[in-house]
Amino acid sequence: MKLKNIIIFLLASLSLMSCRDDNYADHVDAENEAIDKYFKDINAVIVREKPAQMSGEWLDSNNRKIFYRTSSGLYYHQVALGDTTATKPKISSTVYIRYAVTDLKGQMIYNVMESNSPNPVKLLLTGSSSDIYGAGFQESVMYLNKGGKCEAVVSFKINNTYPTSQEGGYSSKDLEYLPMLYDIRLVNVE
């Protein structure tokens, strides 16, 4: 009798896992639609090659924001270049950052800019997807120079993990498949 119960349990587990895969595909489709809509709404330009170093914000000749889509799927927009002579962040660097994160509709999720937090966030860059600051967020930070600013659209597919919502009322379940827009400033690199 125990063997029968084990087999039923295994079949039920496999059934649930296959349903989850279907839901995952739906989440990916929904995310792609949300990201496409966001860029269309703000009239942004998406490029596959990183723009040449510009001292200010990446804008095209029509004053539209340029977002560089990296091979990982991150969308990166430079707002301010920062100090190109300072140490550049890399894996194993300790960085001090300020950031705010919203959903693609502008609903605030978390904010540690000056007005909300007295100290910058200290972060050891690991490049790991298991880190609370997922691989996509960390990749964004590694493109920055000290004093630089960026906007980054980070997909859940590149480990955009955020366990809680400080301001937006999102649950951890809501955040699991939500693409997010980060506004990041690199304060310092050690």
Give the range among 4-13, 137-146, 177-186 with minimum mean pLDDT.
4-13
pLDDT tens-digit readout, 28-38:
898 999 999 99
Q: What is the pLDDT of residues 65-119, one digit of tens each?
A: 999 999 999 999 999 999 999 999 999 999 999 999 999 999 988 889 987 788 9
Q: What is the mean pLDDT of the chain?
A: 84
pLDDT higher than threshold 50 for residue 127: yes
Q: Which domain holds residue 107?
A: 2-189
Count of the separate structural domains present in the chain:
1
What is the model's pTM? 0.83
E strands within 22-161?
45-47, 66-69, 75-80, 94-103, 108-111, 121-124, 149-154
The CATH number of the domain holding residue 24 is 3.10.50.40
Cβ neighbours around 137 below 10 Å, total: 26
> If you ran DSSP here, which 8-state letter would residue 156 be given?
G
- The type of residue at 145 is N
Torsion angle of the four alpha carbons 61, 155, 80, 97, in this order, in degrees rounded to the nearest 10:
180
Which parts of 118-157 are beta strand (E)?
Answer: 121-124, 149-154
End-to-end Cα, the chain, rounded Å: 62
